[in-house]
Amino acid sequence: MDEKKRVLVIEDEADLREGLKHNLEIDGFDVDLAGDGRSGLDCAGRKPHDLVLLDLMLPDMDGLDVLRQLRERGDHAAVIILSARGQDHDKVAGLEYGADDYITKPFGLAELTARIRAVLRRTSGKPEAKGRRRELYDFGDLKVDFRRFTVHNGEVESQLSRYEADILRMLIDRIGEVVTRRDLLTEVWGYVHLPTTRTVDNHIARLRKKVEIDVEHPKHVITVHGLGYRFDGDAVA
């Protein structure tokens, strides 16, 4: 938490954008600004950011498309969505696409700063922030690319959400061992939004659909009854 964190604000309301910059700089962040999706993506491509504050309603494109393109490029910046009140389906979609948190407008700056710090605490412990980690895995039938957040199960390639990728990463890191739901909750979700174990199971079910050819007879993401999950596989390379 010592070096300055760099935040990119993608927000088309100029007053809000400038206000965020002003306040985040006072809080010790380096801040870049973009007023639409295209320039936001350009800015994200020019230098790495620790965190992106992403408005969903942008003049040129949907914020969710910005998020999708960031993740497809392998950009691991933490993302907090700034959403309008009542757009709950967008929040859910955003988290599915790999956002780390969302905050509903209008919000207080104290709350926003607290959310930013919580997300950065969580994500700075994540593998990608700890230096080079293995990004490509080949288990024969199953190929995993953590740079692009994709899996190929021998038939189709699928895009992983951030949560699915984090779960898969944790399972593969401990290949052959049981990973408990509690481990997954603590590591993947952190303490901010501690969901129920049911959430873990739902994400595992979605992950399994992407990883397995036959979800009824999984070969890789194995349920260990009463305990949690285990990843099975032999790395080819």
Q: Does 118 bind Ca ion (CB under 5 A)?
A: no
Stretch that binds Ca ion, among 40-48, 56-64, 112-120, 221-229 (CB under 5 A): 56-64
Residues in contact with Ca ion, counted by CB under 5 A, come to a total of 3
Nearer to Ca ion, 82 or 200 (CB): 82
Output the smallest distance, CB 104 to Ca ion, in A.
Answer: 13
Residue nearest to Ca ion (CB): 57
Output the smallest distance, CB 66 to Ca ion, in A.
Answer: 12
Stretch that binds Ca ion, among 12-20, 134-142, 181-189, 192-200 (CB under 5 A): 12-20
Give the x/- contact pattern for Ca ion in 16-55, rule: CB under 5 A: ---------------------------------------x
Please, which of residues 82-101 interact with Ca ion by CB under 5 A? Answer: none
Output the smallest distance, CB 58 to Ca ion, in A.
Answer: 6
Rounded CA gap, 151 and 20, in Å? Answer: 37
Full DSSP string of the chain: --SPPEEEEE-S-HHHHHHHHHHHHHTT-EEEEESSHHHHHHHHHHS--SEEEEESB-SSSBHHHHHHHHHHTT---EEEEEE-TT-HHHHHHHHHTT--EEEESS--HHHHHHHHHHHHHHHHTSGGGGS----EEE-SS-EEETTTTEEE-SS-EEEPPHHHHHHHHHHHHTTTSEEEHHHHIIIIITTTT---HHHHHHHHHHHHHHH-S-TTS-SSEEEETTTEEEE------
Output the smallest distance, CB 127 to Ca ion, in A.
Answer: 32
Please, which of residues 158-187 interact with Ca ion by CB under 5 A? Answer: none
Rounded CA gap, 34 and 17, in Å? Answer: 8
Among 12, 27, 36, 173, binds Ca ion (CB under 5 A): 12
Among 16, 43, 57, 172, binds Ca ion (CB under 5 A): 57
Under the rule (CB under 5 A), what is the footprint of Ca ion? Answer: 12, 55, 57
